[in-house]
């Protein structure tokens, strides 16, 4: 199929599922597509050539169980907020692809949530609001141009089983809270700009394939062969350099203080034991003070005469 999605679909008030994946559909997603049916439960538009923004009305699809959006050429995130916030299952058979496996579930309580925005040209950071979708079990944002840090509270997505942020431009350390993802069985953070030590503990211990972290030259720790003792992240390197410079700075200031004390007491000592020098110094000081006093008095007198003349 080519062209745009027909707007006449807005007349299908009882439509529960719509699948247009793997076609050559283009253009922006019309608002009517997400407004035509409050009963819409399944929506698959992946692997097309859509562009523009996701409609803000997307949040009206409160009953949406499945969402597959891979292959979009441009999107923004703000309209995703709340789109998977609740579930009111209305049908019995659901096909869901998660962790590369196409699964079918026959009871509504077994439905798995998956968000796939891979293979786009998305830019900017991963919105912190995305971590509020605590029902997500699969999140794929791979192969985009995302930058910034991994959200610090990604550990709130307790039900995640699959997480893929590979082939982006993410930086910073891997959040320690990721050890709280006890159901995580598939992880891919490869080919980014992450640094620091890979968190240790809980489910992350079982993910021992080095390829899930490859392409991050400043990452260290198991399962990578790099030892963190020799490959610290830039922040730690800076802190260590400052710590190493600490004793040197202390000695520097001590030398300055000793030099000042030596010079000061050297001059005072000479004046104490050399009466002639002491008298000469006092005479010079008195003469200097007298000259300054005379200069000030003359200046004040001139200013007074100038005011009187006015």
Domain boundaries, the chain: 2-239, 274-310
Sign of the CA dihedral with 210 first, then 212, 217, and 223 last: negative
Nearest to 75 by CA among 99, 98, 58: 58
pLDDT at position 34, please?
A: 52
Residue 274 has pLDDT above 60, yes or no: yes
What pLDDT sits at residue 188? 93
| Mean pLDDT over each residue of the chain, to the nearest integer | 70
pLDDT tier, 263 (very low <50, low <70, confident <90, very high otherwise): confident
pLDDT at 169: 92
CA-closest candidate to residue 170, choices 147, 139, 154, 143: 147
Q: What is the pLDDT of residues 27-66, one digit of tens each?
A: 655 554 555 545 554 555 656 565 554 444 444 443 444 4
Helix (H) or strand (E) holding 269: helix 234-273
Report which of residues 298 and 33 the model is more confident about.
Answer: 298
What value does the mean pLDDT take over residues 279-289? 86
Rounded to 10 degrees, what is the CA torsion of 139, 52, 125, 117? 10
Query: b/e string for 96-121 if b means 16 or more Cβ within 10 A?
Result: bbbeeeeeeeeebeebbbbbbbbbbe
Distance in Å from the first CA to the final CA of the chain: 95
Residues with Cβ < 8 Å from 55, sequence gap 6 or more? 29, 30, 31, 33, 34, 79
> Tell me, what DSSP letter sits at residue 174?
P
pLDDT at 280: 83
The residue that leads in pLDDT, 182 or 248, is 182
CB burial of residue 308 (10 Å; 0-12, 13-18, 19+): exposed
Reading the block at residue 193, the tokens are 């700009």
The span from the CA of 220 to the CA of 191, in Å, is 14
pLDDT in tens, 174-202: 998 888 888 888 999 999 999 998 888 77
- pTM value is 0.50
| CA-based nearest residue to 55, from 73, 78, 21 | 78
CB contact at 8 A, 146 and 191? no
The 3-state DSSP class for residue 55 equals coil
Architecture field, domain 2-239: Alpha-Beta Horseshoe (3.80)
Q: What is the pLDDT of residue 171?
A: 92
């Amino acid at each position: 199929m080519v062209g745009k999605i027909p707007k006449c679909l807005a007349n299908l008030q009882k439509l529960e599922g719509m699948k247009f994946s793997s076609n050559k559909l283009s253009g922006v997603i019309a608002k009517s597509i997400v407004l035509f049916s409050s009963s819409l439960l399944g929506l698959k538009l992946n692997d097309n050539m859509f562009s523009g923004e996701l409609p803000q009305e997307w949040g009206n699809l409160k009953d949406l169980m499945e969402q597959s959006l891979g292959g979009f050429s441009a999107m923004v995130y703000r309209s995703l907020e709340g789109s998977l916030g609740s579930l009111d299952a209305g049908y019995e058979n659901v096909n869901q692809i998660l962790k590369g496996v196409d699964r079918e579930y026959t009871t509504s309580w077994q439905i798995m949530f998956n968000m796939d925005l891979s293979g786009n040209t998305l830019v900017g950071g991963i919105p912190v609001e995305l971590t509020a979708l605590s029902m997500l079990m699969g999140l794929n944002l791979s192969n985009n141009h995302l930058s910034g840090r991994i959200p610090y509270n990604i550990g709130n997505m307790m039900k995640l089983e699959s997480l893929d942020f590979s082939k982006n431009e993410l930086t910073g350390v891997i959040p320690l809270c990721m050890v709280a993802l006890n159901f995580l069985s598939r992880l891919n953070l490869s080919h980014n700009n992450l640094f620091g030590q890979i968190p240790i503990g809980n489910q992350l211990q079982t993910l021992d394939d080095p390829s899930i972290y490859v392409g991050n030259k400043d990452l260290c720790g198991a399962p990578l062969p790099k030892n963190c003792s020799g490959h610290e992240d830039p922040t730690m390197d800076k802190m260590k350099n400052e710590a190493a410079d600490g004793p040197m700075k202390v000695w520097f200031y001590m030398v300055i203080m000793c030099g000042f004390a030596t010079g000061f007491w050297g001059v005072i000592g000479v004046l104490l034991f050399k009466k002639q020098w002491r008298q000469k110094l006092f005479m010079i000081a008195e003469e200097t003070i007298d000259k300054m006093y005379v200069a000030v008095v003359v200046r004040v007198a001139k200013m007074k005469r100038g005011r009187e003349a006015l």
